[in-house]
Amino acid sequence: MNKLYDQAKQVLDNAYVKYSHFHVAAALKLKNGEVITGVNVENASFGLTNCAERTALFTAYTKGYKKEDIEEILITTKQEDFISPCGACRQVMRELMPDDAKVHLANKQGEIKTVLNKDLLPFAFTEDDL
């Protein structure tokens, strides 16, 4: 898990946070050991902002990886407290990651809390609802 934290911290300053100044980075670990990172990218039209979690996941899918290839994700910020994914990210994570994938929340000090993907959004809208 330290490797994931280190890789997320390495890209944290790459976040484009011109408006909120709230840096977020994610490191997505695949079952083959590859790590894909992402940062939040803001937009003056705030609804068009993309979070770090989605950036990492969309990059993984762009590279041809699928849900079953994902093992875990770590999310970190420059904050003292633990920050969890927003509602939009929770929905996307539930769709694109296995339910039992570990989601690590890391604070500025490198302390980590871990939950399962399915526990972040227990009543997610899924393909079973269609």
| Cβ atoms 88, 55 nearer than 8 A | no
Q: How many Cα neighbours within 13 Å face the side chain of 56?
A: 34
CB 5: neighbour CB atoms within 10 A? Answer: 18
The C-alpha torsion from 11 through 25 and 69 to 65, rounded to 10°, is -70
* Longest alpha-carbon distance in the chain: 42
Q: Which of 91, 99, 92 is nearest to 115 (CA)?
A: 99
- Which residues participate in catalysis according to the annotation? 53
Q: How far apart are CA 97 and CA 11, in angstroms?
A: 22
